[in-house]
Structures are given as C-alpha cells and as structure tokens.
Amino acid sequence: MNIAIYDLDKTLTRRPTFTRFLLYYARRTAPFRLALLPIWIMAMVGYKIRLYGRKPLKQFGVGIFMGREISPANLSKITASFADNEFNHGLQPGAIARLHADRARGALLVLATAAPEFYAQLIGNLADFHAVIATRHILTPDGALTHKIEGENCYAGEKLRRIEEWLSQQSIGRKDAHIIFYSDDISDSPTLNFADEGYAVNPSKKFAEAAAKANWGRLDFRHAEGISNTP
C-alpha cells in the first residue's frame, strides 16, 4: 500500500496558516481583538525563548483572537471561507504537482499537521486528502469549540504518534505500507525517519544539512516541477 503524507504549513501552503487564521477570524467577528496583536507577538517571543511550549501558546492565541468558547455557526462559515481561499490561492505549485502525481499512482493521501483540525480538515477535504491528522480542540457539551487543545499539540513526536495511531485504526501494518512524507521543518524529523522516503521541502541551510546526513531527499515546492535539490 502506498501512502503519501504531507505537512501543511509551508509544505502544502506557501505561508504558515495559524496566525493568519486567527486574524482572519477576529477581523470578521470582533475587529477590536486585532488590537491584541502586539500581545500575541510578545507571546510568540516568549515561546521562542522557551518560557512555555507550543500548546499553551496556541491555546492563548485562540483565546485572545477567537474567544474561550466559539460559536459553531460563526466558526463553520469563517473556516469554510478561509479554507477555500487557501486552497485556491495559497498552495505551493510543487505541492500541487506532487499531489497529482501521488494521486495518479494510487497513493492514499494524508495531511498531518499541527494546525487546528477545525480548518485543516476543510483544506484537506478541498485537496481530496483521504485523511487529515491535526490538532484537536475540546468541545463543550453543547458543541461549542473551546480554546483548549484536546490531548497534545500534533507536533514533532506527537505527530508521529498520531500517524501510527491512524495506521492502526485503518488496520494497516507498517510493513505493508510504503510511506512518503513531505515536510518543511526539522521538527518533523521523527516522521521523516519513520517514512520509507522522507523529503525536506524548501529546506533552510540547517534543515538541508540535516537532510543530507539523514539521507532524506530535498524538494523545492516553489516551482511547479517540484525540483529536486538532492545532490
């Protein structure tokens, strides 16, 4: 069985999605929240200097720009609009070409991302992914989304754990699958090592050096040809 797994931010998409979605949502529901952008920038600096992890950072971001409980009606309408815009205007040319090629050879397409499931799922649906593995948020008993993440942020080792969980749920044995994984970030090293073929997408110098040592391929998704940078 052939499986092609794609990261979302800066792998499938040209730009990161999380902060852009938060601002997109705030602009359409409560524009006054945009005044909190400097606080969000300071919070990201705090993450960079390791005062706290990604999970509390992301929960804080959702809380200040979207609220601690989010109306399902507002969320549905705005996530649909954001996903449609991202699918039509935000995907990398090389990623689109690779998706067509992987689909043509009969691979199962999986989107595995730390982005929130509430919009990642819609982008995955539009791009015809067979499955989406993403960060989940806790729902209230009446179905409202909260700012709190369910379990762990789907990042680094947790992303690999969720992929392995998905394989088990689909009754796919690891030895029965040939897995290709595409990512733009060295944080995805656990899954790149797990895959039969790992590809560093548009890698930074540090990531390219790590890819060379780990024998991962290198791809440039900024071009429709998905040019290989592997020596």
pLDDT higher than 50, residue 231? no
pLDDT higher than 60, residue 4? yes
SS3 for 144? coil
Asked if residue 148 lies in contact with residue 137, where contact means CB atoms within 8 angstroms, the answer is yes
Torsion of CA 49, 54, 55, 61, to 10 degrees: 90
Q: pLDDT (tens digit, 9 = 90+) per residue, 115-172? A: 999 999 999 999 999 999 999 999 999 889 999 999 999 999 999 999 999 999 999 9
Q: What would the 3-class secondary structure string for 117-136 be?
A: HHHHHHHHHHCCCCEEEEEC
Q: pLDDT (tens digit, 9 = 90+) per residue, 47-97? A: 999 999 999 999 999 999 999 999 898 899 999 999 999 999 999 999 999
Element (H, E) at 192: helix 189-194
| Angle at CA of residue 129, ends 186 and 221, nearest 5° | 45
Element (H, E) at 112: strand 108-116
Asked if residue 163 lies in contact with residue 169, where contact means CB atoms within 8 angstroms, the answer is no
pLDDT higher than 50, residue 214? yes
Helix axes 54-65 and 37-48, enclosed angle (nearest 10): 180
DSSP sequence for 24-74: HHHHHH-GGGGGGHHHHHHHHHHHHTTSS-HHHHHHHHHHHHT-SEE-HHH
**pLDDT class for 229, splitting at 50, 70, 90?**
low
Share of the chain above pLDDT 70, in %: 97
Residue 227: what pLDDT?
57
Look-up of token digits 């602009």: 27
The pTM score is 0.95
SS3 for 227? strand
**pLDDT class for 224, splitting at 50, 70, 90?**
confident
pLDDT higher than 70, residue 26? yes
